[in-house]
């Protein structure tokens, strides 16, 4: 009998699942399908192994980071919202100063559904994109981190599905079902956003994804954490605590590749690291070019009426919107965002976008600053090693598929090239087939505790205070 299920044990939560018949019923149908999806599309070949994972079992200090060995299909995906503040007021947009909503206002149903479905769809998508990476992990430490990211993306899906089940009725249940039916890269049923349909086939791409694409996620979540729809705000606030680890994996991952490349550049004859099994710094730069720009696309168009609507309706704010020092004006009705827009004939002209319509751009700027800080740290690693090379983020005009610069031949410095010139230089801007094949050739599986692949430096410290040679994954093979 389903009524006898111990919900708190099986599905850790702070939303009173045990006492919520409606939510139980929705999840009873959805949960088996989720598990089936996890078996079909989750990390391939590791479902029976014991992984040293962090599980959120509560939102208090000790609760959100509970470490233990667990088989991934037995992971306790839970539903957590940051605790409710009494008398919370809306902090921006046309509804500023009113009480935050604990139900969906009918007039914003479609916008909120779209926001939640779009966000939710990215979570299982990234698990699908990364499902083959376990087979060539550079260490048990990295393998464990991959799986931690994967199970938490799964939990983030749960968080969005909770909102759909709880607040959107039948329509929400159908959307939740669809999240398990769409598949990354599937021609017939692709994931909603383009960046989530490209496969991630090597670990440098994985680190770039967690560095750049998950960082888009951080800023989207942060913008939604300001939402007037309080359950969404509280869900995304809690997701941000987990997302921080994913960004750590990405930033330190790329950083460790940079560190190892710097060492190998000094060891190798002529500094050519391909002779000693390293990733050339130029290829790292090309990966940065590709993943940074693909992630910029996720912010949407520079001039966006949807963005204006979301801000006006107090559904989606800016990064740290509630901080009055950062944003003294929470209405943003005044002012414009000035941008260089292409006007044809290879010329650019200053255009003014009303501030609310430029909200995607405002959020993207906060993101770009955050990325810059990481690149600075990588460059410090290079200069500390005495390497005279600086990694750089490409111009936001380069390699774009969305927005006013879409499909135009800008170079990474932001200059508009002749299309033929762009084609000639393309291979020096973005990874070539040969680059990808080379990086893939370096991917060998290191499954001995404490062992690291040659192309990457070990991290400074282990997970949860454990040593580097800790057995982060215990293989349970026959």
Partner 1 sequence: MASAEQSKQGNPEPLTFQTSPDRYRHIQLEVDGPVARIKLNVQENEGLKPGYQLKLNSYDMSVDVELADAVSRLRFEHPEVACVIVTSALDGVFSSGANIFMLGSSTHAFKVNFCKYTNETRLSMEDASANSGQRYIAGLNGIASGGGYELPLACEEIYLVDDRRSAVALPEVPYLGVLPGTGGLTRVVDKRKVRRDLADVFTTLAEGVKGKRAVEWGLVDGIFPPSKFTESVEARAAEIAGIGHTDRKGVVLDRIEPEITDEAIAYRHVRLTFGPQPRVARLEITGPKDLPAIPANASDLGADWYVLRMFRELDDALLRLRFNHPDVGLVILSTRGAIPEVLAMDSQLAECRDDWFVAEVTHHMKRVLKRLDLTAKSFFALIDEGSCFAGSLFELALAADRSYMLDSDAVNIAISSMNSGPLPMSNGLTRLGTRFLGDPERACRVAGLTEPMTPGDANDEGLVTFVVEDLDWNDEIRLACEERASLSPDSLTGLEANLRFAGPETLETKIFGRLSAWQNWIFQRPNAVGERGALTLYGRPESPEFDWRRT
- With respect to partner 1, which residue has the nearer C-beta, 120 or 394? 120
Q: Which of 105, 190, 199, 462 binds partner 1 (CB under 8 A)?
A: 190
Residues 261-290 binding partner 1 (CB under 8 A) are none
Q: How far is the CB of 115 from partner 1 (least distance, A)?
A: 12
Q: How far is the CB of 346 from partner 1 (least distance, A)?
A: 14
* Site size for partner 1 (CB under 8 A): 25
88 and 230 in contact (C-beta within 8 Å)?
yes
- With respect to partner 1, which residue has the nearer C-beta, 389 or 405? 405
End-to-end CA distance of the chain: 35
Residues 300-319 binding partner 1 (CB under 8 A) are 305, 308-309, 311-313
Based on the shown chain and the rule CB under 8 A, indicate whether residue 397 belongs to the binding site for partner 1. no
Q: How far is the CB of 78 from partner 1 (least distance, A)?
A: 27
Q: How far is the CB of 289 from partner 1 (least distance, A)?
A: 24
- With respect to partner 1, which residue has the nearer C-beta, 120 or 253? 120
Alpha carbon distance 52, 55 (integer Å): 10
Alpha carbon distance 161, 321 (integer Å): 25
- With respect to partner 1, which residue has the nearer C-beta, 205 or 308? 308
Closest CA to 84 of 312, 238, 244: 238
* Residue 433 structure tokens: 């087939």
455 and 146 in contact (C-beta within 8 Å)?
no
Q: Which residues contact 266 (CB under 8 A, 6 or more apart)?
A: 385, 386, 387
- With respect to partner 1, which residue has the nearer C-beta, 316 or 356? 356
Based on the shown chain and the rule CB under 8 A, indicate whether residue 415 belongs to the binding site for partner 1. no
Q: Which of 5, 41, 132, 192 binds partner 1 (CB under 8 A)?
A: 192
- With respect to partner 1, which residue has the nearer C-beta, 342 or 462? 342
Q: Find the length of the chain.
A: 478
Based on the shown chain and the rule CB under 8 A, indicate whether residue 167 belongs to the binding site for partner 1. no
One DSSP character per residue, 22-48 reads: HHHHHHHHHHHHHHHHHHHHSSTT-TT
342 DSSP β-pair partners = 348
271 and 265 in contact (C-beta within 8 Å)?
yes
Half-sphere exposure of 287 (CA within 13 A, CB side): 29
Residues 317-356 binding partner 1 (CB under 8 A) are 332-333, 344, 354-356
Beta strands in 19-148 (DSSP E): 50-55, 66-71
CA–chain centroid gap for 401, Å, is 19
Based on the shown chain and the rule CB under 8 A, indicate whether residue 201 belongs to the binding site for partner 1. no
Alpha carbon distance 344, 41 (integer Å): 45
Q: Which of 357, 364, 397, 400 binds partner 1 (CB under 8 A)?
A: 357
- With respect to partner 1, which residue has the nearer C-beta, 170 or 433? 170
Alpha carbon distance 476, 191 (integer Å): 33
Q: With contacts defined by CB under 8 A, name the span among 47-55, 154-162, 182-190, 205-213 that binds partner 1.
A: 182-190
Based on the shown chain and the rule CB under 8 A, indicate whether residue 401 belongs to the binding site for partner 1. no
55 and 68 in contact (C-beta within 8 Å)?
yes
- With respect to partner 1, which residue has the nearer C-beta, 99 or 189? 189
Query: Is the torsion defined by CA of 79, 84, 88, 92 positive or negative?
Result: negative
Q: How far is the CB of 412 from partner 1 (least distance, A)?
A: 25
Alpha carbon distance 167, 369 (integer Å): 35
Q: How far is the CB of 299 from partner 1 (least distance, A)?
A: 17
Q: What are phi and psi of 101, to 5 degrees?
A: -90, 140
Cβ of 451: how many Cβ atoms within 10 Å? 14
Binding flags for partner 1, 75-114, as an x/- string (CB under 8 A): -------------------x---------------x--xx
Q: Which of 1, 3, 187, 420 binds partner 1 (CB under 8 A)?
A: 187
Binding flags for partner 1, 417-446, as an x/- string (CB under 8 A): ------------------------------
- With respect to partner 1, which residue has the nearer C-beta, 208 or 308? 308
- With respect to partner 1, which residue has the nearer C-beta, 128 or 435? 128
Alpha carbon distance 340, 397 (integer Å): 10
Residue 215, Ramachandran bin (φ over 0: left; ψ between -120 and 50: alpha; else beta): alpha
Q: Which of 89, 96, 181, 437 binds partner 1 (CB under 8 A)?
A: 181
- With respect to partner 1, which residue has the nearer C-beta, 225 or 315? 315
Residue 300, Ramachandran bin (φ over 0: left; ψ between -120 and 50: alpha; else beta): left
Based on the shown chain and the rule CB under 8 A, indicate whether residue 188 belongs to the binding site for partner 1. yes
Q: How far is the CB of 313 from partner 1 (least distance, A)?
A: 7
Residues forming the site for partner 1 (CB under 8 A): 94, 110, 113-114, 178, 181-182, 187-190, 192, 305, 308-309, 311-313, 332-333, 344, 354-357
């Amino acid at each position: 009998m389903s009524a006898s299920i111990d919900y708190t044990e099986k599905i850790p939560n702070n939303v009173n699942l045990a006492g919520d018949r409606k939510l139980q019923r929705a999840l009873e149908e959805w949960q088996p399908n989720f598990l089936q999806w996890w078996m079909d599309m989750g990390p391939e070949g590791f479902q029976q192994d014991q992984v040293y994972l962090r599980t959120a079992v509560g939102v208090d200090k000790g609760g959100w980071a509970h470490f233990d060995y667990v088989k991934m299909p037995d992971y306790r995906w839970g539903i957590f919202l940051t605790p409710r503040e009494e008398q919370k007021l809306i902090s921006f947009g046309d509804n500023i100063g009113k009480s935050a909503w604990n139900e969906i206002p009918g007039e914003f149903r479609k916008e909120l559904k779209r926001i939640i479905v779009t966000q939710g769809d990215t979570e299982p998508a990234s698990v699908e994109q990364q499902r083959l990476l376990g087979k060539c992990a550079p260490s048990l430490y990295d393998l464990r981190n991959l799986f931690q990211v994967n199970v938490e993306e799964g939990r983030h899906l749960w968080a969005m599905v909770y909102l759909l089940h709880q607040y959107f009725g039948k329509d929400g249940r159908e959307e939740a079902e669809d999240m398990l039916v769409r598949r990354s890269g599937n021609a017939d049923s692709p994931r909603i956003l383009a960046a989530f349909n490209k496969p991630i086939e090597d670990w440098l791409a994985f680190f770039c994804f967690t560095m750049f694409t998950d960082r888009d996620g951080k800023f989207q979540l942060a913008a939604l954490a300001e939402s007037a729809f309080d359950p969404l705000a509280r869900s995304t606030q809690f997701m941000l605590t987990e997302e921080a680890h994913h960004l750590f994996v990405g930033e330190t991952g790329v950083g460790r590749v940079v560190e190892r490349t710097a060492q190998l550049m000094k060891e190798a004859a002529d500094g050519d690291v391909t002779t000693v099994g390293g990733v050339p710094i130029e290829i790292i730069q090309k990966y940065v070019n590709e993943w940074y720009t693909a992630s910029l696309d996720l912010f949407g168009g520079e001039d966006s009426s949807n963005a204006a609507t979301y801000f006006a309706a107090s559904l989606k704010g800016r990064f740290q919107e509630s901080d009055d020092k950062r944003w003294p004006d929470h209405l943003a009705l005044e002012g414009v965002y000035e941008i260089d827009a292409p006007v044809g004939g290879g010329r650019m002209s200053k255009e003014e976008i009303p501030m609310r319509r430029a909200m995607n751009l405002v959020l993207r700027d906060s993101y770009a600053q955050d990325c810059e800080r990481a690149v600075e740290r990588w460059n410090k690693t290079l200069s500390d090693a005495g390497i005279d090379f600086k990694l750089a983020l490409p111009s936001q005009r380069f390699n774009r598929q969305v927005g006013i610069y879409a499909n135009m031949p800008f170079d990474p410095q932001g200059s508009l090239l002749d299309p033929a010139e762009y084609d000639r230089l393309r291979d020096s801007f973005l990874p070539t087939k040969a680059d990808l094949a080379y990086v893939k050739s370096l991917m060998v599986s290191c499954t001995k505790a404490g062992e690291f692949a040659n192309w990457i430096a070990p991290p400074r410290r282990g997970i949860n205070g454990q040593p580097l040679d800790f057995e982060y994954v215990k293989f349970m093979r026959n």
